[in-house]
Amino acid sequence: MLSLRPIRASAIAFGLGLSTLAVVATAVDMPQLELNGDAAAGKAVAEDRGKGNCVACHMIVGAESPGAIGPALIAMQTRYPSKEALARQIWDATVKAPEAAMPPFGKHEILSNQEFVDVVEYVWTL
């Protein structure tokens, strides 16, 4: 009788390898950016309904008409180990959560690199 175990193990290993490559390839999409932006400019972009529009989905203390779809943007420096980790999340949230509703602001060039860096700086201060 022919055993299917080696085939299944190989298929699983192959699938895991492809998954790992996909995550690594996607995570690399964010270019090396100097993450020292202007928090005030980032706040303006985050609250701009035509640009960042973070407040449409996230509660931000003091923001007008905050949303409740995404997590509240509070205590960000305790929730992310580094500003770069936060930047990667904003760049493309689908890397960590493929079903994420948050648009990939950097990957899809919704924000310019400067706007992106400024938003990261602002959100990091929350």
Distance between CA atoms of residues 123 and 63, nearest Å = 13
User: What tokens appear for 122 in the block?
Assistant: 């602002």
pLDDT of residue 65: 78
* pLDDT tens-digit series, residues 71-84: 999 999 999 999 99
* Statement: the pTM of the whole predicted model exceeds 0.85: no
* pLDDT tens-digit series, residues 37-64: 999 999 999 988 888 889 888 988 888 7
Of the ranges 25-29, 34-38, 77-81, which is most confident?
77-81
SS3 76: helix
- Does the pLDDT value for residue 10 go beyond 70? no
User: What tokens appear for 121 in the block?
Assistant: 């700086």
Residue, of 116 and 107, whose pLDDT is higher? 116
Residue 101 to residues 13, 17, 35, 40, Cα–Cα distance (Å): 29, 26, 24, 26
